[in-house]
A = this chain, B = another copy of it.
């Protein structure tokens, strides 16, 4: 910022003026951020006592804060005060140790520090040259993570220390990972089938189990697949809601028989609803027969594969085309951080490359570097590699494994509580740290009555503010989800939650 003048038309360049508006004045930065840090540390200390789900009405914030922006500046303390008094009471506190809904958003001191430094450096590493360290750190962090996950070297980047043929990129969400791989697969299938432009587009078909995250079907829609060609393959209890490879084969063959082109199969390791696991290897074998791209969505459960005892869920991964997993879910890295790996990086960049004049540079032209803009939707990108590197660098593999195991152990403990109480049933096997359970029909209770009882139980529990858990439907049954893993969670929180569930159930069953 240079010197300033509030009369726009009479503005003239004047000598450097210390009283000018300096939004990045280093001492202001230090003062504001130290205040923010103390707020955060205090927040973590007290969040346990706040209602997890706030009791606010739509529009409450508009009623509390000014409807218009202020003309004049205020002390940063005023901003922080409004944050404390108006914003915090309206938050759903995912950082609360009493949060058991959806999947946890795990976090850590190292990750927040990395994200903070990225915000301050404000790097935009679209090309290698636009910030060599940012691109190389992303490559390094992704390669480290392949080692933690024991992914084949074919998913690693080709660097001085690795002979990988693939590569990776850090995106915001799994949806973006699905979208860019769908587009790459779409373009490859169009080329293969001899399409002129889009002429064969209505022949391309994509496949996933009906338990696949809804965002997959949205990503197919965004990428322009015909709604009639998006196959949602039914699953059932016989495969614990995992995709049945035999069914997949039948559906794909039937499509080929009528002249359609199988293009993409999405397999999930740890579905959102019940943590089902699609058999990766078997699916890859079938898809390969049809030349279809296989993507593995391991957004949540992928993190467990850093522990040898969970790694078998990725058996066959060497035969898939891409895999994505989100350290912002279960690897202690704050939003947003989804790692996408592809076995052949060129298959992505062939579809997504742009080459505007103002980004041309020698490094790109040498072919020796990765320009990460060519593996994502947009051009601009945050320096996301820093936080995930800081997590791995600071905590190390052993502690990260301990973190996963601790959460799984707490989920097992909760499962034991449920099993010991014969009013409940466990609906699907627990694979990771999600327990799907419900009050089971007993006596003259019908299935519908049980659904209603479970609905009531969830509502009563969540209204207390002392826990928050979500629901799903599995096989037409209303199911409660209990997801362990919020980063401040300890066994005592799981035990307290169970006590509350147990007592609330008693009042409902009366």
Contacts and interface: CB of A to CB of B under 8 A. Distances in A.
A355 interface: yes
Interface in A172-212: 172-176, 179, 183, 186, 197-199, 201-202
A424 interface: no
Contacts of A487: 1, 23-24
Contacts of A1: 403, 406-407, 487-490
Interface residues of A, number: 198
A308 to B, nearest CB: 8
13 contacts: A8-B405, A33-B40, A33-B113, A60-B136, A63-B160, A69-B147, A70-B397, A76-B109, A116-B116, A179-B222, A183-B221, A218-B354, A336-B380
Contacts of A183: 221-222
Interface stretch (A223-231, A278-286, A287-295): A223-231
B382 A335 contact: yes
B123 A92 contact: yes
Contacts of A120: 40, 43-44, 95, 107, 112, 334
Nearest to A36: B113
Interface stretch (A239-247, A437-445, A469-477, A499-507): A469-477
B197 A224 contact: no
A225 B33 CA distance: 45
A15 interface: yes
A78 B89 CA distance: 37
Interface string A460-472: 0000000000111
Interface string A353-386: 0111110000100101100000001111110001
B92 A132 contact: yes
A1 B487 CA distance: 5
Contacts of A366: 58
A250 interface: no
A227 B187 CA distance: 12
